[in-house]
């Protein structure tokens, strides 16, 4: 699988467990509708970074998660 960010392909995910975890975090972020849900998603992103930092991952992954979280925060704020 490839990470897509702003319609640009950033890099392939080669580890199936990493890919699965990444997809779950992205899905969680995109499902957030309230600030408290976003806060929980933010903790999930930090836990992801902590866990996978130990095994190593491309730097584009945390950037992609942070950007997705930021975009969802903007969307959620506009809906409130």
Residue bearing the bigger pLDDT, 17 or 4:
17
Using CA atoms, how far apart are residues 64 and 6, in angstroms rounded to an integer? Answer: 10
What proportion of the chain, given as a percentage, has pLDDT over 90? 59
pLDDT in tens, 14-38: 678 889 999 999 999 999 999 999 9
**What was the pLDDT predicted at 1?**
46
Where do the domains of the chain lie?
2-79
Nearest to 48 by CA among 24, 15, 76: 24
Q: Is the dihedral of CA 24, 11, 18, 59 positive or negative?
A: negative
Averaged confidence pLDDT in the chain:
85
Provide the CA 33 distance to its chain's centre, in angstroms: 16
Residue bearing the bigger pLDDT, 15 or 7:
15
The token duo for 70 is 């930021």
């Amino acid at each position: 699988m490839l990470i897509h960010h702003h319609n640009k392909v950033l890099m392939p995910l080669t580890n199936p467990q990493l890919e699965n975890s990444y997809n779950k975090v992205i899905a969680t972020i995109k499902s957030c509708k309230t600030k408290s849900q976003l806060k929980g998603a933010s903790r999930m992103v930090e836990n992801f970074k902590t866990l996978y930092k130990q095994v190593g991952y491309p730097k584009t992954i945390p950037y992609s998660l942070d950007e997705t979280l930021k975009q969802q925060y903007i969307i959620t704020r506009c809906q409130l």
